Amino acid sequence: MLTHIPLEEILFLDLETVPAVPDFSQLDEEFQQLWTEKSRFIREKNATSLEESYHSAGIYAEFGKIVCIGVGYFYRGTSGIAFRCTSFCGDDEKSILKDFSDLLRKRTNDPFRMLCAHNGKEFDFPYLCRRMLINSIDLPTLLDIAGKKPWEIGHIDTMELWKFGDYKHYTSLKLLAKLFGIPTPKDDIDGSQVRQVYWEEKNIERIASYCRKDVLTTAQLFLRYQGLPLIEAENIKEV
């Protein structure tokens, strides 16, 4: 699958997002009303209060913010194919987005031609675009898809690939990793805990570590899709 795409041309990524403020009560009056309208279906479906529903606000670009972008890419090491990953994280979302944008713009000698994420077309790619516009950051070419034909858009979604044209619901990265025998650490936090770890524990490094692990797992899954062996631990570099 997709064996025509050189691995070195793909940038794998993952986002971690949280509600824009710690609690619903800290939103200004207008945003409180807007969230009340936005969350009506969530509250009815899950029988949660307005305050409880705000814990999930991070999944919406209009009410959340990015606290970490994990990235990784394949390269030719001394002993064959290797993988390098890092993360941009912190409290200053605009700085995170600018650093990520600079990575895409400044890599001119050997540019990335594709972006890959799990559920990227539904979440990561549009979320990045929306938050960049909100923060007055010009969209990098790889994210600026307006007016492009479908085959001109350099976006790969490992969840969409798994569907093979089917319309079934979400398939988690964790499940696919288990199916394909991809080792994953047992100490990962759950995605639903990111808000608590960020706003209550204030442990951004824990979030960054979790994010990088998901980037690596996505890359390993893509290798399995191509019928290639997994990258061994000694050929994985975190910076």
Name the pLDDT band for 168 (thresholds 50, 70, 90): confident
pLDDT, residue 118, reads 98
Name the pLDDT band for 5 (thresholds 50, 70, 90): confident
pLDDT, residue 216, reads 97
Check pLDDT > 70 for residue 186. Answer: no
Average pLDDT over the chain reads: 93
Check pLDDT > 80 for residue 107. Answer: no
Tell me which residue has tokens 């010009």: 138
Helix (H) or strand (E) holding 73: strand 64-77
pLDDT, residue 56, reads 93
Name the pLDDT band for 47 (thresholds 50, 70, 90): confident
Amino acid at 110: D
pLDDT, residue 111, reads 82
Roughly what angle, to the nearest 10 degrees, separates helices 93-106 and 125-134?
Answer: 110
pLDDT, residue 187, reads 65
Q: Can you give the residue ranges of every domain in the chain?
A: 7-17+72-238, 21-62
Average pLDDT estimate for 189-195: 87
The CATH homologous superfamily to which domain 7-17+72-238 belongs is Ribonuclease H-like superfamily/Ribonuclease H (3.30.420.10)
The SS3 of residue 145 is coil
pLDDT by residue (tens digit) across 121-163?
A: 999 999 999 999 999 999 999 999 999 999 899 999 999 999 9
Whole-Å CA distances, 24 to 43, 45, 80, 83 = 14, 19, 50, 40
Beta-bridged to residue 120, according to DSSP, are none
CA distance 161 to 224: 12
98: exposed, middle or buried (Cβ count in 10 Å: 0-12, 13-18, 19+):
middle
The length of the chain is 239
- pTM given for the model: 0.94
Rounded (5°) CA angle 85-207-137: 70
Average pLDDT estimate for 177-199: 87
